[in-house]
Amino acid sequence: MIDEIRNDFTKLQDELLKGPIYPNVTPEEIRCHLASRYDFTKAMALDEVVADVERMLRTWQVQVTHPRYFGLFNPSVTLASVIADTLVAMYNPQLASWQTSPAGNEIERHTLGWLAAKFGLPPDTLATFTNGGSEANLSAVIVALTRAFPDYGEDGLRCLAAAPAIYLTEESHHSFSKIAHMTGLGRKALRKVATTFHLTMDIADLEKRVTEDRKNGFVPLMVIGTGGTTTAGAIDPLPELGRFCQDAGLWFHVDAAWGGAAVISPTLRHHLSGIETADSITCDAHKWFSVPMGSGMFFCRHPDSVAEAFRAQASYMPGKATGPAFDPYTTSVQWSRRFIGLKLFLSLAQQGESGHAAMIEHQTRMANVLREALIASGWRIVNTTPLPLICFTRDGLDIAQFLASLRERQIAWMSEGQIKGAPVVRACITSFRTTEADIQWVVGEMHRLVKYNAVHQLTPAEC
Ligand SMILES: Cc1ncc(COP(=O)(O)O)c(C=O)c1O
């Protein structure tokens, strides 16, 4: 089986290099295709359907595993992680309870324990795999509320004498807006702390906001520090935030959904210094650990609060885990639980920690090549980060039009971001397969495009 997957995987990677990165399709085209072929009234040959679906996937989506996809933290994936996902689908283990899947649960515990130690968290840290960073961030807010307000679980937010507040910045991930909505805190509970010139949280403003809130009858609950912001890759001052939270009695959550993987790199890990003081951490394996989607992680140094937040009992569930084991359905948001962690486990086991670190460092090196090439080509870099994410612009450029031309010509996939209110081009090296030659070619093509557009004043469709 492994040989077959390996062959298909290699073939797919070669095919991707030949095909488009960016799809050119309308909803009507896809709907018409589906409606004309799939009314599900009669059985179809599996080979035929699979071939058709593969064709759709090859042509009708942005190819996030392409070496010239400089995109939104969606990685190229390792062969081992693809094999892992196939095994999981075939065996379909249920990890909700320990008794149902002793092997799966212990493999996850082992993998998470290894990473918790890398983060510098204590040995009794409770960690679970999640669907992604949003679920991990949601878990953090629920557990922080549970710890701060013992009556919250039974009586709800309405029992609180004062409204809780959460401190983050404009650069923090948008999942916190939904989380504030979903938990009943309300979106207004989010306090947008000012940022420094480098887009990191301004501690002086944080202190001021917390003091003001206390004076005005609110209850400061938690601070969200980000270890690699989504738009600009900025890393908040984690040691200072940790100290502040400790002194002020606030929960310190570090959202390292993307940047957290840097903790395994000897050359990058110091940028995450201070993460060890966090009460909880979010880190996505499906970002910089290069495994397929649906693989986030939540770490918390307060196992008792996690168990209280997610306690559950149901007579139809298999017997309770005993001894050092626990049932994930009683320590996490999810009930039925896929064996999420196998893709990270298998990938780490196959590549080793140093192999994974080398992939991360390669992407960082490629970003440095891109930075230098962009500067040499007249672009202005507008963000500061040691991580492989570059935001850039140039005078007089219509960013939206430029990006549309870039995609239509299949040069590369980049996104638009906003830095201090101004639109910028955002390029993140998310593939361990991106080479220096890819980067030099892309920057050369970008230069030609800028010059061509300037001379001809073209719309993207005309380019
Ligand atoms: C900093 C940060 N936190 C959280 C998330 C949400 O993660 P997910 O998409 O896995 O839910 C993202 C997604 O890009 C992110 O960049």
Ligand 1 centroid, distance to 228 Cα (angstroms): 10
The token duo for 375 is: 């500067």
Q: What does the alpha-carbon distance between residue 142 and residue 152 come to, in Å, rounded to a whole number?
A: 10
Q: Is residue 444 part of a domain?
A: no
The token duo for 289 is: 């650990």
Q: Please report which helix (H) or strand (E) contains residue 328, including its range.
A: none
Atom number of ligand 1 nearest to Cα 230: 16
Atom number of ligand 1 nearest to Cα 136: 11
* Residue 457 predicted with pLDDT over 70: no
Q: Is residue 382 part of a domain?
A: no
With the most atoms of ligand 1 within 8 angstroms of its CB, the residue from 173, 176, 333, 334 to mutate is: 173
| Residue 452, C-beta contacts closer than 8 angstroms, at least 6 positions apart | 458, 463
Question: Kindly report the CA angle at 331 between 120 and 121, in degrees rounded to 5?
Answer: 5
Nearest residue (CA) to ligand 1, atom 16? 230
Residues with CB under 6 A from ligand 1: 73, 132-134, 137, 173, 175, 226, 230, 255, 257-258, 284, 296
Q: Which amino acid is at 196?
A: T
User: Residue 455: its pLDDT value, please?
Assistant: 62
Nearest residue (CA) to ligand 1, atom 6? 133
**Cβ proximity of 266 and 148 under 8 Å:** no
Nearest residue (CA) to ligand 1, atom 4? 133
User: How far is CA 409 from its chain centroid?
Assistant: 28
Q: Is residue 109 part of a domain?
A: yes
Dihedral angle over CA of 396, 401, 402, 404, nearest 10: 170
pLDDT confidence of 339, banded at 50, 70, 90? very high
DSSP 435: -
User: Residue 463: its pLDDT value, please?
Assistant: 40
If phi > 0 it is left, if psi is from -120 to 50 it is alpha, else beta; for residue 399 that is: alpha
For the chain, the domain total comes to 1
Query: Looking at residue 173, which CATH number applies to its domain?
Result: 3.40.640.10
The token duo for 160 is: 């609180």
Q: Please report which helix (H) or strand (E) contains residue 105, including its range.
A: helix 102-119
Q: Is residue 204 part of a domain?
A: yes
With the most atoms of ligand 1 within 8 angstroms of its CB, the residue from 172, 175, 290 to mutate is: 175
| Main-chain dihedrals φ then ψ at residue 190, nearest 5 degrees | -85, 125
Average pLDDT, the chain: 95
Ligand 1 centroid, distance to 133 Cα (angstroms): 5
Q: pLDDT tens digit string along 288-324?
A: 999 999 999 999 999 999 999 999 988 888 888 888 8
The token duo for 454 is: 């300037």
**Cβ proximity of 443 and 378 under 8 Å:** no
Ligand 1 centroid, distance to 13 Cα (angstroms): 26
Q: Which domain holds residue 129?
A: 92-345
Q: What does the alpha-carbon distance between residue 52 and residue 30 come to, in Å, rounded to a whole number?
A: 12
DSSP secondary structure letters along 51-103: HHHHHHHHHSS--TTSTTB--SS-----HHHHHHHHHHHHH----SSTTT-HH
What is the rounded average pLDDT of the residues 374-386? 96
Q: Is residue 378 part of a domain?
A: no
DSSP 194: -
Ligand 1 centroid, distance to 286 Cα (angstroms): 10
In angstroms, the Cα distances linking 235 to 150, 210, 232, 258 are 32, 21, 9, 11
Ligand 1 centroid, distance to 173 Cα (angstroms): 6
pLDDT confidence of 334, banded at 50, 70, 90? very high
Dihedral angle over CA of 269, 274, 276, 281, nearest 10: -90
**Cβ proximity of 281 and 256 under 8 Å:** yes
User: Residue 462: its pLDDT value, please?
Assistant: 47
Q: Which amino acid is at 1?
A: M
In angstroms, the Cα distances linking 194 to 190, 204, 265 are 13, 9, 30
What is the rounded average pLDDT of the residues 382-406? 94
What is the rounded average pLDDT of the residues 6-17? 85
Q: Is residue 183 part of a domain?
A: yes
In angstroms, the Cα distances linking 14 to 55, 79, 217 are 15, 14, 61
Question: Kindly report the CA angle at 209 between 140 and 260, in degrees rounded to 5?
Answer: 35
Atom number of ligand 1 nearest to Cα 229: 1
Environment class of 449 (CB within 10 Å of its CB; exposed 0-12, middle 13-18, buried 19+): middle
A 10 A CB-CB count for 270 gives 11
Q: What does the alpha-carbon distance between residue 374 and residue 368 come to, in Å, rounded to a whole number?
A: 10
Q: Is residue 275 part of a domain?
A: yes
Q: pLDDT tens digit string along 217-266?
A: 999 999 999 999 999 999 999 999 999 999 999 999 999 999 999 999 99
Q: What does the alpha-carbon distance between residue 423 and residue 164 come to, in Å, rounded to a whole number?
A: 33
Q: Is residue 151 part of a domain?
A: yes
Q: pLDDT tens digit string along 99-141?
A: 999 999 999 999 999 999 999 999 999 999 999 999 999 999 9
Ligand 1 centroid, distance to 127 Cα (angstroms): 18
**Cβ proximity of 260 and 220 under 8 Å:** no
Ligand 1 centroid, distance to 7 Cα (angstroms): 32
Helix, strand, coil proportions of the chain in percent (round to 5)?
A: 50, 15, 40
Atom number of ligand 1 nearest to Cα 137: 4
**Cβ proximity of 372 and 430 under 8 Å:** no
Predicted TM-score (pTM) of this structure: 0.96
The 10 Å CB-count burial string (b at 16+, else e) for 234-258 is bbbbbeebbebbeebebbbbbbbbb
Placement of tokens 């009683």 in the chain: 330
